[in-house]
């Protein structure tokens, strides 16, 4: 076997390491590629250890050696595996037989850590050190940790400069022999099981929320600080707040907001109040809301009341930040949570929420309209009617639904116009909206619609929708119209007439109108299957209530 | 050597079970059912390991057990048994126990009988080995003594670790004053090397804390508190990562002193009440300094908490006057113990006369339950011993010495660097192990009393560095 064949498996191992380092950074933990990469890399290590036994890699600035052979060489610093280890001081990396998949996973996770992330205080040696692997060992050159090369020798010389004088020593020695001896017995009590149990309890209790404790300290600092110190402490509060949000610890963030809220009262000095209030502005800022969005998507934050508690403390400035992330969220659950939040906040400022109606993303606009529906505030109507001509049908439908729920002036006319829309889904949605309004004016429009000559040309389902809407008015005028339709006779366009009769039968069934039973019985024997079936169902509904 | 991951997991159970059989056989006769049952369990475990790994060697090096060369890692529930077993090994100078082939319960019972019988012997290890000669599967070895050369190298490494940490602490303080960012990656690496040094050569690094530097008190103190805190943390069973976090927060516990005007901080006489009030502000100032010196993260929170709390005592006395601190943080309580001990045993600008370590401990014990956590203090005393490193002692031979190493198996018998002859004349220093006995089984030297180093104007650094 020549040299190339000899070192090939080792080279492949390094390639696998590099690939794993890349993949683990690129794919989330739950992605199949992530797991597959670990398994494949492990298989390579397992095979190599099986064949070669324990091995040690020597790391140089741009090279990695196995024994005397360079198995990896890189030319520049980018994507350079050797330099990645070298720059933090790693000089050898040893892998031993018995290496487990979990160990290798942790090793790969350590080397694929995002060291460039802002605010990161880790290096690869610290991560490896913390893992304390059994089968992966490394040696580090600690020289670059030296702060001051001459400090040690200077400090040693300085410490030894005052040598113990023989004469002083002798004098004191003799004095001590004459002295009364003050006996200080230190009793070393053996550690007992009870001590250990107490210690375990203390350690377990100690793991409780540090962020909350820190918040307490920061607010105590306000208590004793001079006004000149307020801005600095307020900044610390915001840093701590941002950290809590960044790490998904919404409970601590809410706690901070609650504490700040408690501190603001009539007796709070203006300057302090101003500094405290800045936290609420910060909590509503785009940067923070963006982080919340990421956590919502990742499932780290769920709708468990904590998020709602958080939103309670936000001001209306948060609305625009929330709207901007609404369209970016990937999961339905996250969008639901955000919609609830916007429904709460939008109530505080309808106008701010209405700005979302101009968002270029149709689905965001639809969500905003849905939020207006949730809020149920008629002040929204003036903004909604402007969206009724939106280019996307789905948005227009949502507007009509909202208008139907909100009602109010101007709505009926808008809905009436929508009944003439060329798009059937818009027409039926407008009809349903009118039915929801249930005013006399709405009834008239609907009776007009169902009496319209052109109705016969429409699809049966659409006709049925209109007749169904009529069931919202259980009164004489509607019943008369329905009965007339039911009884109407004509030899022309019989099939279309029968469809209208079927619709009327259906609506009378919905209304439970017993007087219609005799006519319905007659129609049950109709040769038109559709009419016969609708009549039968209507009878059943009137007689049995279903 | 080296063992599989599965065997590594089992190794802690083997050590634990060994502690159980030793403990049980100290109470009961080896034939007792309680002993027999636990011996059977031990035999099963050891034979399981032999099946997997071949011969199994358990070795005690320093404070740790190693199984086939791998340090046996254990969690807190094993702490007591591990501690007990290492003391029992040390009492008998037993350092190594090797199982060459499968063992039988009778072998273990014979071992236990010898192990119990030899503890009061003049040469327990010799007696134990003789008692095991007929057991072919088991082999013993004495506690490994580090050669002078190796010890010299170790001390050099420890010294370097220590002074590098002090130098770093000095750099941090200066950077804080000038508003520069502190390199936390470096801080972590320095603390990691202190943790490693403590895990390997605890007494050497603890010894370094006994060398006090008046001029650079603040920096030495920060490092000393960090070392003592890590050592205490290790004693209570904290894991490596937690020890690093603890060491880091301890290193920064007094960082708020950078905010104290130098004329107050360096005042050579006692403080006026007003100056005390200024000094007391360093705890709160530390919170701000910590948050400023690095990007905000979990370690900022932990460091800031400790900085704020390390002078608050249980019952909310101390300072700052905390209104809502319900329970002090574990790290704060640990640092508080280390801080008081190092503070009292150092000469500071406002109190130039340091206390002897034993006097400091005695005062601290008086504060147990009021200023200091009683349980942690108990562990601390178990760590530093009756005569902590740096204590000046008079021996029954009328020689003077400086305690240079703690004997956790027998606290009144530490290692002592003898510095005078029996007439009080200065001699070339040498280390005497007070656990050493003569041919008749009588201790060669014993401590008669602890002395005040200030009275003798003894520069401890001269002997420990």
Report the number of distinct structural domains present in chain A: 3
Question: Residue A158: its pLDDT value, please?
Answer: 75
Q: Are residues A436 and A514 in the same domain?
A: no
Between CA B120 and CA A70 the distance in angstroms is 59
Question: Residue A182: its pLDDT value, please?
Answer: 60
Asked if B365 has any chain A CB less than 8 Å from its own CB, the reply is yes
Between CA A295 and CA A113 the distance in angstroms is 19
Asked if B369 has any chain A CB less than 8 Å from its own CB, the reply is no
Between CA A368 and CA A358 the distance in angstroms is 10
Question: Residue A223: its pLDDT value, please?
Answer: 87
Q: Are residues A409 and A527 in the same domain?
A: no
Q: Are residues A13 and A130 in the same domain?
A: yes
Does any domain span residue A117?
yes
Q: Are residues A392 and A518 in the same domain?
A: no
Q: Are residues A60 and A131 in the same domain?
A: yes
Question: Residue A413: its pLDDT value, please?
Answer: 93
Q: Are residues A383 and A428 in the same domain?
A: yes
Q: Are residues A67 and A112 in the same domain?
A: yes
Q: Are residues A412 and A528 in the same domain?
A: no
Does any domain span residue A294?
no
Question: Residue B63: its pLDDT value, please?
Answer: 77
Q: Out of A126, A145, A164, pick the residue that ends a domain.
A: A145
pLDDT in tens, chain A (546 residues): 455 567 889 999 999 999 999 999 999 888 899 999 999 999 999 999 999 899 999 999 999 999 989 999 998 877 899 999 999 999 999 999 989 999 999 999 999 998 877 667 889 999 999 999 989 999 998 877 777 777 787 877 777 766 667 787 888 788 878 776 665 667 778 888 899 889 988 888 887 678 888 999 999 999 889 999 999 999 999 999 999 999 888 999 999 999 999 999 989 999 999 999 999 999 999 999 999 999 988 887 776 788 999 999 998 889 999 999 998 998 888 999 999 999 999 998 999 999 999 999 999 999 999 999 999 999 999 999 989 999 999 999 999 999 999 997 789 999 999 999 999 999 999 999 999 999 999 999 999 999 998 888 899 999 999 999 999 999 999 999 999 999 988 766 788 889 999 999 999 999 999 999 999 999 999 999 999 999 999 999 999 876
Cite the DSSP H helix spans in A361-470: 362-375, 381-384, 393-406, 411-418, 424-437, 440-451, 460-470
Cβ A473 vs Cβ A510: under 8 Å: no
Which ranges of chain B have pLDDT less than 50? none
Residue spans of the domains in chain B: they are 5-142, 148-384, 392-464
The minimal CB distance from B5 to the residues A100, A118, A165 is found for: A100
Asked if B450 has any chain A CB less than 8 Å from its own CB, the reply is yes
Asked if B23 has any chain A CB less than 8 Å from its own CB, the reply is no
- Residue-range definition of the domain harbouring residue A26: 3-145
- Return the residue of B nearest to A119 by Cα: B295
Task: Find the largest Cα–Cα distance for chain A.
Answer: 140
Per CATH, domain B148-384 is 3.40.50.2000: no
Q: How close, in Å, is residue B128 to chain A by CA atoms? A: 26
Q: Are residues A14 and A122 in the same domain?
A: yes
Q: What would the pLDDT profile of A24-74 be if each residue is shown by its tens digit?
A: 999 988 889 999 999 999 999 999 999 989 999 999 999 999 998 999 999
CB contact under 8 A, A173 and B400: yes
Q: Are residues A139 and A8 in the same domain?
A: yes
Does any domain span residue A438?
yes
Pairing type for strands A69-73 and B138-142 reads: unpaired
DSSP state of A137: E
Q: What would the pLDDT profile of A369-381 be if each residue is shown by its tens digit?
A: 999 999 999 999 9
Q: Are residues A386 and A508 in the same domain?
A: no
Does any domain span residue A366?
no
Q: Out of A85, A117, A145, pick the residue that ends a domain.
A: A145
- Return the residue of A nearest to B196 by Cα: A129
Residues 87-106 of B with CB under 8 A from A: none
A50-61 b/e with 16+ CB inside 10 Å = b?
eeeeebebbbee
Does any domain span residue A109?
yes
Domain of A423: which CATH number?
1.25.10.10
Q: Is the ipTM of this complex over 0.90?
A: no
Q: Out of A112, A145, A178, pick the residue that ends a domain.
A: A145
Question: Residue A1: its pLDDT value, please?
Answer: 44
Q: Are residues A33 and A98 in the same domain?
A: yes
- Return the residue of A nearest to B79 by Cα: A196
What tokens does A134 get? 């059994």
Q: Which residues contact B209 (CB under 8 A, 6 or more apart)?
A: B223, B224, B227, B228, B342, B389, B390
């Amino acid at each position: 076997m020549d040299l190339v064949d000899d070192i090939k498996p080792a080279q492949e191992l390094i390639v696998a390491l590099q690939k794993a380092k890349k993949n683990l950074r690129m794919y989330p933990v739950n992605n199949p590629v992530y797991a597959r990469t670990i398994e494949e890399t492990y298989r390579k290590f397992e095979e190599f250890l099986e064949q070669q036994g324990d091995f040690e890699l020597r790391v140089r600035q741009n090279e990695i050696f196995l024994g005397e052979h360079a198995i990896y060489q890189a030319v520049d610093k980018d994507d350079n595996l050797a330099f990645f280890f070298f720059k933090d001081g790693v000089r050898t990396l040893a892998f031993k037989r018995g290496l487990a998949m979990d160990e290798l996973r942790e090793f790969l996770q350590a080397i694929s850590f995002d060291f460039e992330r802002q605010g990161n205080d880790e290096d690869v040696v610290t991560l490896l050190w913390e893992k304390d692997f059994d089968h992966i060992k490394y040696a580090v050159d600690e020289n670059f940790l030296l702060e001051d090369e001459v400090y040690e020798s200077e400090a040693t010389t300085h410490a030894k400069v005052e040598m113990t004088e023989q004469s002083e020593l002798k004098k004191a020695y003799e004095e001590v022999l004459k002295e009364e001896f003050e006996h200080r017995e230190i009793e070393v009590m053996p550690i007992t099981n009870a001590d250990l149990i107490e210690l375990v309890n203390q350690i377990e209790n100690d793991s409780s929320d540090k962020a909350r404790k820190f918040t307490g300290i920061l607010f105590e600092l306000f208590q004793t600080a001079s006004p000149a110190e307020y801005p600095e402490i307020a900044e610390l509060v915001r840093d701590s707040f941002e950290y809590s949000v960044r790490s998904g610890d919404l409970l601590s963030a809410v706690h901070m907001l609650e504490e700040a809220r408690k501190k603001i009262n009539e007796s709070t000095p203006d300057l302090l109040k101003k500094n405290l209030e800045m936290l609420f502005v910060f909590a509503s800022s785009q940067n923070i809301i963006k982080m919340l969005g990421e956590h919502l998507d990742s499932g780290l934050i769920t709708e468990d009341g904590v998020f709602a508690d958080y939103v309670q403390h936000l001001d209306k400035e948060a609305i625009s930040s929330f709207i901007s992330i609404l369209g970016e969220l990937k999961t339905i659950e996250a969008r639901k949570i955000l919609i609830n939040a916007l429904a709460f906040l939008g109530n505080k400022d309808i106008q701010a929420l209405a700005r979302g109606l101009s968002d270029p993303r149709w689905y965001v606009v639809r969500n905003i309209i849905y939020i207006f529906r949730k809020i149920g505030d008629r002040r929204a109507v003036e903004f909604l009617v402007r969206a009724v001509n939106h280019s996307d049908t789905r948005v227009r439908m949502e507007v009509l639904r909202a208008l139907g729920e909100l009602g109010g002036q101007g709505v009926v006319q808008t809905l009436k116009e929508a009944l003439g829309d060329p798009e059937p889904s818009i027409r039926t949605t407008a009809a349903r909206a009118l039915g929801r309004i249930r005013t006399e004016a709405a009834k008239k429009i609907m009776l007009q619609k169902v009496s319209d000559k052109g109705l016969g040309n429409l699809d049966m389902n659409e006709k049925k929708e209109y007749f169904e809407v009529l069931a919202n008015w259980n009164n004489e005028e509607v019943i008369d119209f329905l009965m007339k339709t039911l009884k109407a006779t004509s030899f022309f366009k019989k099939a279309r007439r029968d469809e209208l009769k079927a619709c009327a039968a259906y609506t009378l069934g919905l209304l439970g109108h017993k007087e219609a039973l005799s006519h319905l019985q007659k129609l049950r024997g109709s040769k038109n299957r559709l009419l016969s079936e609708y009549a039968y169902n209507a009878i059943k509904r009137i007689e049995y209530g279903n | 050597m080296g063992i599989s991951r599965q065997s590594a997991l089992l190794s802690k159970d083997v050590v634990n079970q060994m502690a159980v059989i030793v403990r049980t056989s100290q109470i009961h006769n080896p034939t007792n059912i309680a002993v027999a049952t636990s011996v059977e369990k031990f035999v099963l475990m050891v034979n399981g390991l032999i099946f997997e790994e071949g011969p199994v060697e358990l070795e005690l090096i320093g404070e740790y057990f190693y199984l086939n060369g791998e340090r046996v890692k254990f969690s807190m529930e094993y702490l007591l048994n591990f501690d007990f077993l290492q003391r029992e090994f040390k009492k008998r100078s037993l350092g190594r126990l090797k199982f060459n082939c499968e063992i039988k319960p009778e072998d273990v019972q014979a071992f236990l009988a010898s192990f119990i019988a030899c503890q009061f012997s003049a040469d327990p290890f010799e007696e134990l080995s003789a008692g095991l000669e007929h057991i072919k599967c088991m082999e013993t070895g004495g506690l490994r003594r580090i050669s002078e050369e190796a010890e010299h190298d170790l001390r050099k490494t420890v010294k370097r670790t220590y002074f590098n940490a002090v130098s770093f602490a000095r750099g941090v303080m200066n950077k804080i004053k000038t508003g520069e960012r502190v390199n936390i990656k470096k801080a972590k690496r320095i603390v990691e090397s202190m943790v490693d040094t403590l895990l390997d050569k605890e007494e050497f690094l603890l010894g370094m804390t006994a060398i006090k530097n008046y001029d650079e008190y603040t920096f030495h103190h920060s490092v000393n508190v960090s070392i003592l805190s890590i050592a205490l943390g290790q004693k209570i069973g904290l894991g490596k990562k937690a020890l690093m976090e603890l060491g880091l927060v301890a290193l920064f516990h007094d960082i708020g002193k950078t905010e104290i005007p130098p004329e107050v901080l360096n005042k050579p006489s006692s403080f006026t009440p007003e100056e005390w009030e200024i000094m007391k502000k360093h705890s709160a100032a530390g919170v701000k300094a910590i948050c400023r010196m690095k990007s905000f993260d979990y370690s900022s929170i932990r460091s800031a908490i400790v900085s704020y709390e390390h002078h608050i005592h249980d019952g909310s006395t101390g300072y700052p006057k905390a209104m809502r601190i319900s329970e002090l943080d574990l790290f704060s309580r640990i640092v508080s113990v280390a801080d008081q001990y190092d503070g009292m045993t150092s000469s500071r600008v406002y109190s130039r006369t340091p206390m002897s370590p034993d006097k400091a401990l005695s005062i601290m014990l008086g504060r147990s339950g009021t200023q200091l956590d009683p349980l942690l203090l108990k562990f601390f005393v178990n760590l530093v011993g009756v005569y902590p490193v740096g204590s000046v002692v008079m021996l029954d031979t009328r020689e003077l010495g400086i305690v240079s190493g703690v004997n956790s198996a027998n606290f009144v018998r530490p290692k002592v660097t003898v510095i005078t002859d029996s007439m009080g004349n200065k001699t070339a220093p040498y280390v005497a192990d007070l656990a050493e006995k003569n041919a008749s089984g009588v201790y060669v030297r014993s401590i008669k009393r602890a002395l005040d180093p200030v009275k003798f104007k003894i520069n401890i650094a001269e002997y420990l560095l």
